[in-house]
Amino acid sequence: MGYSFEKLPQLIDMRGKLPRKGEYVDLGVNSKTVRVWHHSLTKSNLAGSTAEAFGRFHVNTNGWPGVGYHFVIEPHNLIKGPDGRMRARIIWCHNPGVKSFHVGNSNKFSVGICVAGDYRSEKLNDATLLTVSEFHAALVRDKIGKDDKAHNQMPGYSWKPCCVFDYKAAFFFNKPVNVSKPTPLPGTYDIQEGDTFWSLANELKDITVQDLIAANPGVNPQNLKIGQTIKLGKSKNVYTRPYETPKKPQNEYKYPLPLVTIGKGKKNPKQEVLKLQKALNAINYKCGVEDGIWGPKTEDALKRFQEVYTPYEVDRILGPNTRRQLQAVLKSKGH
Ligand SMILES: [Zn+2]
């Protein structure tokens, strides 16, 4: 016997077909008590607002085993039902009992449903409202979870702008119920399961990964521990200060960085490679003798740096992203 939600015409079963690099554990559907509603904070009509794209981001950038949500609703990918009405697609990503990453310490007992879109500025379209109401009714019939909550109603997440649409109104269409608004961003935050600097920054448009790195020296972004306290609100603009006095010219830094793109397969002028070697050695990504020659040791040190700070771009080239991270790390070490 399958679930009743499987009979919805707008359901697409993509279990096992989305990007992944490991397995989440399946604790069985009875482990789930809460249905947690998310939005993606990416505009719903963009190419990146699909389950496939979220999967790629969660795996390649966040380093998670697979997409964090159990279901993703795609408001711009429509399917016509047998009654002729248009419905938004539901992408089925994981069995309901899977313990995936979407609400930190509550992952074990929560099913994650993400409606693609940024509902701080967008409105749910009719096809999406119809899908949310039909899908919710089916989950209730199937006894998958007992209660519904917005992401920011889960413990520790009151500051998250997720989901900001009125999910309860969507269940019932005409009976709006207000959802609690997110509270201000706390200065510090205790790491929950599945959190990464990239996933935190991604849901907060005014805090960047570089801010988190710069504000939390001594914290290894690749090795966050559950319960570890990091600066969150307090990291705002620590790296990207918009109204700061003009940036120092590179030659006033202790470790000025190369002014051109260097690295694997590039022309590598000696004086520029030398700058990179000095910077890498200064932050303990040892690359051997500082001789200005692009060789295996320098390449390996840059690769190790990228694996930690730009895991979405390990190309052994010092381009704009890697350069920005390197500058942030140097700054966090007082250089
Ligand atoms: Zn969320």
pTM equals: 0.75
Contact by Cβ (8 Å): 109, 155: no
Kindly list the structural domains of the chain, giving each domain's residue range(s) and its CATH number in brackets, ordered by start. 4-172 (3.40.80.10), 188-235 (3.10.350.10), 250-332 (1.10.101.10)
The per-residue pLDDT for 284 is 92
Give the distance (Å) from ligand 1 centre to CA of residue 147: 16
Give the distance (Å) from ligand 1 centre to CA of residue 49: 14
Map tokens 């085993």 to a residue. 65
> Is residue 191 predicted with pLDDT exceeding 90?
yes
Give the distance (Å) from ligand 1 centre to CA of residue 160: 7
Give the distance (Å) from ligand 1 centre to CA of residue 284: 36
Mean per-residue pLDDT, 271-297: 96
> Is residue 158 predicted with pLDDT exceeding 70?
yes
Give the distance (Å) from ligand 1 centre to CA of residue 199: 10
Q: Between residues 233 and 333, which one has the greater pLDDT?
A: 233
Give the distance (Å) from ligand 1 centre to CA of residue 38: 4
> Is residue 117 predicted with pLDDT exceeding 80?
yes
Give the distance (Å) from ligand 1 centre to CA of residue 162: 5
Give the distance (Å) from ligand 1 centre to CA of residue 92: 17
> Is residue 321 predicted with pLDDT exceeding 50?
yes
Give the distance (Å) from ligand 1 centre to CA of residue 88: 19
pLDDT tens column, 75-115: 999 999 889 999 999 999 999 999 999 999 999 999 999 99
Give the distance (Å) from ligand 1 centre to CA of residue 71: 13
> Is residue 174 predicted with pLDDT exceeding 60?
no
Alpha-carbon distance of 94 to 100, in angstroms, equals: 8
Give the distance (Å) from ligand 1 centre to CA of residue 40: 7
Alpha-carbon distance of 234 to 241, in angstroms, equals: 13
| AA letter at 29 | V
Give the distance (Å) from ligand 1 centre to CA of residue 39: 6
DSSP E strands: which ranges in 154-214? Answer: 188-190
245 band by pLDDT with thresholds 50, 70 and 90 = very low
Alpha-carbon distance of 278 to 209, in angstroms, equals: 24
Q: Which helix (H) or strand (E) holds 317?
A: strand 317-318
Give the distance (Å) from ligand 1 centre to CA of residue 157: 9
243 band by pLDDT with thresholds 50, 70 and 90 = very low
Give the distance (Å) from ligand 1 centre to CA of residue 321: 26
| Torsion of Cα atoms, 325 then 330 then 333 then 335, to 10° | -150
> Is residue 166 predicted with pLDDT exceeding 50?
yes
3-state secondary structure 96-138: CCEECCCCHHHHHHEEEEEECCCCCCCCCCHHHHHHHHHHHHH
The per-residue pLDDT for 205 is 75
Alpha-carbon distance of 251 to 144, in angstroms, equals: 60
217 band by pLDDT with thresholds 50, 70 and 90 = confident
Alpha-carbon distance of 38 to 103, in angstroms, equals: 10
Contact by Cβ (8 Å): 148, 171: yes
